[in-house]
Amino acid sequence: MRFYTNQHRHYCGIDLHTKTMYVCILDRDGQVLVHKNLPSNPAAFLEVVAPYRDDLVVAVECIFTWYWLADLCAAEGIAFVLGHALYMKAIHGGKAKNDRIDALKIVMLLRSGILPQAYVYPTGMRATRDLLRRRLHLVRKRGQLLAHIQMTNQQYNLPAFAKRIAYPSNREGVANHFEDRVVRKTIAVDLALLDRYDSLLVDLESHLVRQAKQHDPQAFQLLRSISGVGKVLALTILYEIHDVHRFDRVQQIASYARLVKCAKESAGKNHGTSAAKKGNVHLKWALSEVAVLFVRHNEPGKELLARLETRHGKALSILAHKLGRAAYYILLRSKAFEIERFAATVN
């Protein structure tokens, strides 16, 4: 957990919503200068902070509406801090809750130097990262369609399809596999949606690769040097990490990617682990996929996994952790993946 500890002359905390925002501004002595509700638009924000622009810092909670305010502060030269919603809730939780109280609590945390920070992803690559996440959503929807066709086939106890219907060339005559006219119509709808998803995803992936080659072509190619890492996984790792230098140590990126178990201890007693879902779920997914693909068609990878299983039992998550560390050093040192060097570190 990182806290914002810089000192300023004026502090602004905002409880931000889609249509409104409750603004609270304090001076360095804690005196309330502004505490009122405003419409969520740039003009209203700039007007209310205008008298306090001298050494001002603005803080909001990390919810989906923060993009426009972060970009506005960057354009106006105003310091901006994004608060980590989960950690903030743990710190300032109370009985009463409303916009007025929340705005005051945010600015008090900011002024006290105990506001837990979330990463303010810069404008230049943010839209591409969001598009990449949207692609994953579409892929899962496509998977649901494929699963529905298979489940319908099993409902009627029909023979399995001769070929994998995940491939467009194998879907001819799939609807005719079913006798009932209404069921055929249902499957035809699924197949039509699958065809549309396929064309969308091909176009989307081409666009994302072009974007990556514009933003950081070297890092994109270096990540692909890891066995099993294709275009999509390299894109996901690249855009979810963004700037590897924002992590001071490799342990921080392992924690951020949900690759470590956090121990719960008190009075010398071990109470298991916690915080398994704190971190970046998209990076966790990508590195877990890398671990699976790393051993699929890679003999050295299979040997490494067998070695880890001999020592630790279930070892795929351990391999994902080590591959995540390798990705960190690849980006940090701008050097391609070396299987021999990686194997020497696995034990």
Q: What is the pLDDT of residues 39-86, one digit of tens each?
A: 999 999 999 999 999 999 999 999 889 999 999 999 999 999 999 988
Stronger pLDDT, 263 or 316, i.e. the higher one: 316
Provide the CA 149 distance to its chain's centre, in angstroms: 30
Any domain includes 186 = yes
Rank 32-36, 87-91, 267-271, 294-298 by mean pLDDT and report only the highest: 32-36
Q: Which of 75, 94, 116 is the last residue of a domain?
A: 116
Q: Which of 99, 116, 133 is the last residue of a domain?
A: 116
Using the predicted structure, report yes or no on whether residue 277 has a pLDDT greater than 80: no
Any domain includes 94 = yes
% residues pLDDT > 70 (the chain): 99
Instruction: Tell me how far apart the alpha carbons of residues 8 and 5 are, in angstroms, rounded to a whole number.
Output: 10
Structural contact between residues 79 and 69, judged by C-beta atoms closer than 8 angstroms: no
User: Do 321 and 295 sit in the same domain of this protein?
Assistant: yes
Tokens of 136: 């994953």
Q: How many CB atoms lie within 10 A of CB 20?
A: 15
- Mean per-residue pLDDT over the chain, rounded: 92
Instruction: Tell me how far apart the alpha carbons of residues 23 and 14 are, in angstroms, rounded to a whole number.
Output: 5
Q: Which domain holds residue 170?
A: 125-215
Place of tokens 């979330």: 118
* pLDDT score recorded for residue 93: 67
Instruction: Tell me how far apart the alpha carbons of residues 223 and 145 are, in angstroms, rounded to a whole number.
Output: 31
Q: What is the mean pLDDT of residues 296-306?
A: 90
Tokens of 132: 């990449």
* pLDDT score recorded for residue 161: 92
- Read off the CATH number of the domain in which 94 is found: 3.30.420.40
Give me the amino acid identity at 14: I
* pLDDT score recorded for residue 246: 93
Q: What is the mean pLDDT of residues 175-196?
A: 95
Provide the CA 34 distance to its chain's centre, in angstroms: 35
> What is the band of 88 on the pLDDT scale with cuts at 50, 70, 90?
confident
Residue of 135, 109, 126 whose CA lies nearest to 64: 126
> What is the band of 314 on the pLDDT scale with cuts at 50, 70, 90?
confident
* pLDDT score recorded for residue 35: 96
Using the predicted structure, report yes or no on whether residue 91 has a pLDDT greater than 80: no
> What is the band of 237 on the pLDDT scale with cuts at 50, 70, 90?
very high
Any domain includes 211 = yes
Residue 114 exposure: Cα atoms within 13 Å on the Cβ side: 10
Q: What is the mean pLDDT of residues 201-208?
A: 95
Any domain includes 316 = yes
> What is the band of 261 on the pLDDT scale with cuts at 50, 70, 90?
confident
Name, in order, each residue with C-beta under 8 angstroms of 229's C-beta and a sequence gap of 6 or more. Answer: 223, 237, 290, 293
Q: What is the mean pLDDT of residues 248-264?
A: 89
DSSP type of residue 242: -
> What is the band of 89 on the pLDDT scale with cuts at 50, 70, 90?
confident
Structural contact between residues 105 and 112, judged by C-beta atoms closer than 8 angstroms: no
User: Do 194 and 239 sit in the same domain of this protein?
Assistant: no
Any domain includes 311 = yes
DSSP type of residue 65: T
Using the predicted structure, report yes or no on whether residue 338 has a pLDDT greater than 80: yes
Q: What is the mean pLDDT of residues 306-333?
A: 92
* pLDDT score recorded for residue 274: 73
User: Do 236 and 318 sit in the same domain of this protein?
Assistant: yes
Any domain includes 223 = no
Instruction: Tell me how far apart the alpha carbons of residues 25 and 48 are, in angstroms, rounded to a whole number.
Output: 9
Residue of 94, 98, 110, 93 whose CA lies nearest to 13: 110
Q: Is the pTM of this model over 0.95?
A: no
User: Do 11 and 111 sit in the same domain of this protein?
Assistant: yes
CA-based R_g, the chain, Å: 25
User: Do 294 and 242 sit in the same domain of this protein?
Assistant: yes
User: Do 335 and 235 sit in the same domain of this protein?
Assistant: yes
Give me the amino acid identity at 5: T
* Angle between the N-to-C axes of helices 231-241 and 281-296, in degrees from 0 to 180, rounded to the nearest 10: 150
* pLDDT score recorded for residue 42: 96
Place of tokens 């303010």: 120
